[in-house]
Amino acid sequence: MEQPLVMSLQSQLISVIRDVPDFPKPGILFKDITPVLKDAALCRDVVDAFHAHFASDQVDCIIGVESRGFLFGMMLAQKFNVPFIPVRKRGKLPFKTNAFEYNLEYGSAIVEMHIDAISPGQCVLIHDDLLATGGTAMAASELVSMQNGKVAGFAFLVELDFLAGRKHLQKYSDRVVSLVNY
């Protein structure tokens, strides 16, 4: 009975996620989720879908990866009634941080998390809007490991299957949920 609801949500998301060619560089087809944000009911459905996937798992906090991971990450934290933890680009957090450098599909980056964000043993759900090569989600996982936390799983609105990012995340958790796959 749940499957038609999931298919309906997938269809809705596919119908509103916008393709933007040549962004941020020529040859890249960017999947823009900002049209999803214009529909409050659809946003609630997204949060409810993620919650349904992870409701039986131990989730002690939600990480949202800068910047689009903040959008649904905070809503997920509220739905789970757990703290929200931002993972940001280097130099954007005001307190002492752990940092991790990683490669992107078109460059490299450094992300940081406050050193007191996670207590040892906490189970963390990592959320971002899109899974491409997996570099950013792996970096967030490494930050969790630096604080002796555990990755409960990953939640993505969109996954680009042809970039095979999922295979890199399975060393951290076998719970990788994407609502729409391209």
Domain count within the chain: 1
DSSP, res 56: T
30 C-beta neighbours (distance < 10 Å), count: 14
Give the C-alpha separation, 49 to 128, whole Å.
Answer: 15
pLDDT at 1 over 60: no
* Residues 176 and 169 sit within 8 Å (Cβ to Cβ): yes
Average pLDDT of 56-61? 98
pLDDT at 31: 97
Order of strands across the sheet with 123-131?
A: 97-104, 107-114, 84-89, 61-65, 123-131, 150-159, 176-181
| Residue at token pair 């962004």 | 23
Token digits of residue 109? 């980056």
Find all residues with CB under 8 Å of 72, minimum gap 6, and list them.
43, 46, 47, 50, 64, 127, 129, 155, 157
Q: Which residue has the tokens 């996954």?
A: 159
Question: Structure tokens of 2?
Answer: 């749940």
What's the Cα-to-Cα distance from 3 to each of 9, 56, 81, 142, rounded to whole Å? 10, 18, 26, 34
pLDDT band at 172 (very low <50, low <70, confident <90, very high): very high
What CA–CA distances, in Å, run from 66 to 91, 118, 169?
Answer: 12, 17, 18
Q: Which domain holds residue 30?
A: 2-181
Q: Mean per-residue pLDDT for 152-177?
A: 97
CATH no. for residue 124?
3.40.50.2020
For 35, other C-beta atoms within 10 Å of its C-beta total 13
Q: Predicted confidence band at 144 (pLDDT cuts at 50, 70, 90)? A: very high
Of 86, 80, 71, 11, the C-alpha closest to 51 is 80
Q: Is the pLDDT of residue 67 over 60?
A: yes
φ/ψ of 78, rounded to 5, equals -65, -40
